[in-house]
Amino acid sequence: MSLSVGPPSGLLLVLMCCPLLGLVQSASSNKASDNAHPHLGDSDPERCMRHHFVETITHPIYKCNSKMVLLARCEGHCSHTTRSDPLISFSSVLKQPFKSTCSCCRPHTSKLKAVRLRCAGGTRITATYRYILACNCEECS
């Protein structure tokens, strides 16, 4: 009995050269299975995530033209689990007898942005703010 092995298919060759294509393909073909695991964080619409909104920036004192800007905020819930562990001390007085942990929805990465407002008399004033790029559940402080 003879066994013949042909050349690898073109798809296999592409996946060997570009393995990310396989991830993209499997992610798009598994959309229906996303709802099969509601315990996964990505399927929860109330999870911690970035939300966009529009805000009008005006100077509180000077007469300047206002500008509308796109901002982002972190909103949503993290784990409902909070924990308090007892702390061990070799002192006779325990000032803080427990260490509590919880997670909060907070900005993970952001970038500094600036907007220039044109004011009376031709002067310009710069307003700065942080634009949130990503949110994460992080330990509350």
pLDDT tens-digit readout, 70-104: 999 999 999 777 778 888 888 777 777 888 888 89
In-domain check, residue 134: yes
Domain of 112 in residue numbering reads as 49-86+99-139
In-domain check, residue 16: no
In-domain check, residue 81: yes
Contact of 70 with 129, CB cutoff 8 Å: no
Question: Which tokens sit at 77?
Answer: 């819930």
The predicted-structure confidence for 7-54, as pLDDT tens digits, reads as follows 444 333 333 333 333 333 333 333 333 333 334 446 677 899 999 999
Query: For the chain, give me the number of helices (H) and strands (E)?
Result: 3, 6
* pLDDT for 2: 44
* pLDDT for 105: 94
CATH no. for residue 63?
2.10.90.10
- Domain tally for the chain? 1
In-domain check, residue 66: yes
* Distance between CA atoms of residues 99 and 89, nearest Å: 12
* pLDDT for 88: 83
* pLDDT for 13: 34
* pLDDT for 123: 93
- Res 120 pLDDT > 70: yes
In-domain check, residue 71: yes
In-domain check, residue 26: no
Cα pseudo-dihedral 15, 18, 19, 21, rounded to 10: -80
In-domain check, residue 21: no
In-domain check, residue 104: yes
Question: Which tokens sit at 9?
Answer: 């298919």
